[in-house]
Structure 1
């Protein structure tokens, strides 16, 4: 089967990494899979950077939309409800005439913001080929937000938009109307990595009448595999007997990632005399990877910032060096970080939001607490910090869960 994936990036960002893993999984089982991207960072010969040579007026159009609309109309008028990306789906690049697309048996869309528009997607739909759209966030069925921050106006018409303080032209509503017009009668199947995202898609005005299937993301279980924690800790310069809490992500300053809530949970932990003694005796550390928070030094305990890790092997070592992975996201799909930590045998403490409960079985592979309840998150952290036997049992269950449900060949 000839499969063409379309994604804005190939390996940059969580959605891209998830899509690329599927791409590699399809190749491993013998499928003819090619990926078309706007921005390529890998050296993979089966990934193609495709940006049509546009006439000057097309370049001017994109510049105008980027500056006048994206920066001045959208970015300058965001409310405090969210600082997660909110993007305009224009102008878009027409890929429908490419021989590779013409020859495909199936088209698999992924994260196509800043690459595809409702019109260019329509041109793919009218080719008559089956199209599968794998959703990595809400953007496909909203008027521009990538995560709705609890808003459900995408079920009705995206008006009014709580993420824009000033919206005199009703932009999100107009964008959603565009999608409704151009997506009509498309031979489109929606795939979501989590049950939560599937329910959002089924309730959306745009996708409510379409087939929606849940197929979890996968990962390389041979790369993300358990290692002796003492050795992993020493590999990143931490003493083997030190207790470690890991936190990480691409952009830790994004509000929905929950750094404020993590700080509050650690503050609660510091009220515990035993935890405080660990901090004072330098026997516990927090490890952080990705872009660090601007006020990382205000956590209240020693932090080891690893920065951006440029290989899966280094990322895997960080997970293996952690006794607990804390995931305080307030809104998320099926985070790669959660699956990666579990694959390395590290239990997860998270808020019970989005797709967390798909993988984290409370009390078995980690601890889930009510969203925003930092007191309960603190208690969950403490319960694992002072019970190494429980952590070990959970770690083994984590690995079993990943091997049963999240291997590359299962998703492919």
Structure 2
């Protein structure tokens, strides 16, 4: 089996983590796999490019720069295609799976992608298209994350915020929506199989494009995290005050990190010790430790292993890997109410909480938090979580899906 994974980034973000992990696991199991990514920081090669086998940067810097500059007015990526992959794809011997992940974010023009797929299928009938939906971009006029907005159900008539990712200066989502949805119908006509790690994203897609059009395969922890798991020592000793973690790429973004809730946690004073992991932390205080953005997974997991709990307050994630990772290493997650958190936690018997309850729970130790969130002992929670978020299971589910196409 030949597999081509395509994602806008190589190793930055949850979607990249899933796509890259599938690629590495496929190679590990003797499958032929290549990973095509759009661009890295500043349009250059990813800083991680040389760490992984069979990875290829795809897009010239000028293309991504133009898309970034013009998207704010056009509300879509005007440039970018896959034409330079045509020979590679059509000359591949035997069946080939083209597995798309995130194609937006200043990488590819959607119409060009559909045209490419139509040409490829006409030339190579044994090609199969698979598209994993990591966000809501397939159902909206512009946004990747709905942040509670349901305007996509009524045609994105007036966008409540121009700052939702990807941000714009002029709202043209309503104009873009019909053509965009027609492109997804064209992909369905090509036999493209859609998957989402998230039930609520799949439900949204199916409500527009037809029941059963999008299947569910949950995300799992990656190979690197699984290797780290076996080396992490148990760290269940009670301490004078609980250590609570906040993790986000950009800690300033309220959609990912509820700023008011974190400030209320800081106001608890010496009742807790707050540790942040991410860029641009706006938080400070005698009980705050800002670690910055940690690119080394082993260092991050080792630091989280020392925590009593991780607070998750994002409104825009869909099936967040950081939750799977924290739970897998035995760190209980205290999450505010959201579809994403409810879906991930339910897999290991957990539940979400109101902001008021979160402020009470962060004052508890690891054992008490595990009992409150999962209704079981710390040891039982840890064992349950390790199997619930298995990356190996994710690969098996995908390979089975490929083979059944």
Counterpart selection for 2:227 from 192, 209, 222 = 222
Per the alignment, do residues 386 and 406 of structure 1 end up closer, same or farther by CA in structure 2, a change over 3 Å counting? closer
Confirm or deny that 1:31 pairs with 2:26: no
Higher relative contact order by CA 8 Å / sep ≥ 6: 1 or 2? 1
CA contact 1:122–1:182 (8 Å) conserved in 2: yes
What CA distance in whole angstroms lies between the structure 1 residues aligned with 2:179 and 2:57? Answer: 27
Tell me the CA shift for residue 13 of structure 1.
2.1
**Which moves more between the two structures, 173-182 or 326-335?**
173-182
Tell me the alpha carbon deviations over residues 356-375 of structure 1, each in whole angstroms, 9 at most, x when there is no partner: 2233149x765511xxx321
Tell me the alpha carbon deviations over residues 278-310 of structure 1, each in whole angstroms, 9 at most, x when there is no partner: 44xxxx41111111432x016xx6111111212
Tell me the alpha carbon deviations over residues 305-328 of structure 1, each in whole angstroms, 9 at most, x when there is no partner: 111212110111122011111111
Taking structure 1 as the reference length, the TM-score comes to 0.78
After superposition, residues 53-68 of structure 1 pair within 5 angstroms as: 59=62, 65-67=67-69
Per the alignment, do residues 154 and 96 of structure 1 end up closer, same or farther by CA in structure 2, a change over 3 Å counting? farther
Tell me the CA shift for residue 160 of structure 1.
2.0
Confirm or deny that 1:329 pairs with 2:347: no
CA contact 1:253–1:293 (8 Å) conserved in 2: yes
Counterpart selection for 1:115 from 96, 107, 124 = 107
What CA distance in whole angstroms lies between the structure 2 residues aligned with 1:111 and 1:388? Answer: 35
Give the structure 1 partner of residue 82 of structure 2. 94
CA contact 2:138–2:181 (8 Å) conserved in 1: no
Per the alignment, do residues 329 and 169 of structure 1 end up closer, same or farther by CA in structure 2, a change over 3 Å counting? closer
After superposition, residues 215-364 of structure 1 pair within 5 angstroms as: 215-219=217-221, 220=223, 221-224=226-229, 226-229=232-235, 243-263=242-262, 265-266=264-265, 270=268, 278-279=270-271, 284-294=272-282, 296-297=283-284, 302-361=287-346
Give the structure 2 partner of residue 273 of structure 1. none
Tell me the CA shift for residue 130 of structure 1.
2.2
Tell me the alpha carbon deviations over residues 104-138 of structure 1, each in whole angstroms, 9 at most, x when there is no partner: 61111111222222112202431233211112211
SS at match of 2:131: strand
SS at match of 1:307: coil
SS at match of 2:215: strand
Tell me the alpha carbon deviations over residues 138-178 of structure 1, each in whole angstroms, 9 at most, x when there is no partner: 12332211111222232342222222399998621232222
Give the structure 2 partner of residue 18 of structure 1. 18
Give the structure 1 partner of residue 144 of structure 2. 146
Confirm or deny that 1:42 pairs with 2:49: yes
SS at match of 2:204: helix
**Which moves more between the two structures, 376-385 or 22-31?**
376-385
Give the structure 2 partner of residue 83 of structure 1. none
Per the alignment, do residues 399 and 25 of structure 1 end up closer, same or farther by CA in structure 2, a change over 3 Å counting? farther
SS at match of 2:142: coil
What CA distance in whole angstroms lies between the structure 2 residues aligned with 1:14 and 1:195? Answer: 16
**Which moves more between the two structures, 345-354 or 395-404?**
395-404
- Structure 1 gaps of 5+ residues are 54-58, 75-86, 232-238, 271-275
SS at match of 1:130: strand
Tell me the CA shift for residue 344 of structure 1.
0.8
What CA distance in whole angstroms lies between the structure 1 residues aligned with 2:345 and 2:370? Answer: 18
Per the alignment, do residues 156 and 306 of structure 1 end up closer, same or farther by CA in structure 2, a change over 3 Å counting? same
Counterpart selection for 2:352 from 355, 368, 388 = 368
Aligned length: 365
Q: CA RMSD in A?
A: 3.2
Give the structure 2 partner of residue 176 of structure 1. 177
Give the structure 2 partner of residue 56 of structure 1. none
Tell me the alpha carbon deviations over residues 173-230 of structure 1, each in whole angstroms, 9 at most, x when there is no partner: 2322222333322322211112122122222x3x446621111111132324542327
What CA distance in whole angstroms lies between the structure 1 residues aligned with 2:171 and 2:359? Answer: 42
Tell me the alpha carbon deviations over residues 254-273 of structure 1, each in whole angstroms, 9 at most, x when there is no partner: 111133243255268x3xxx
Give the structure 2 partner of residue 186 of structure 1. 190
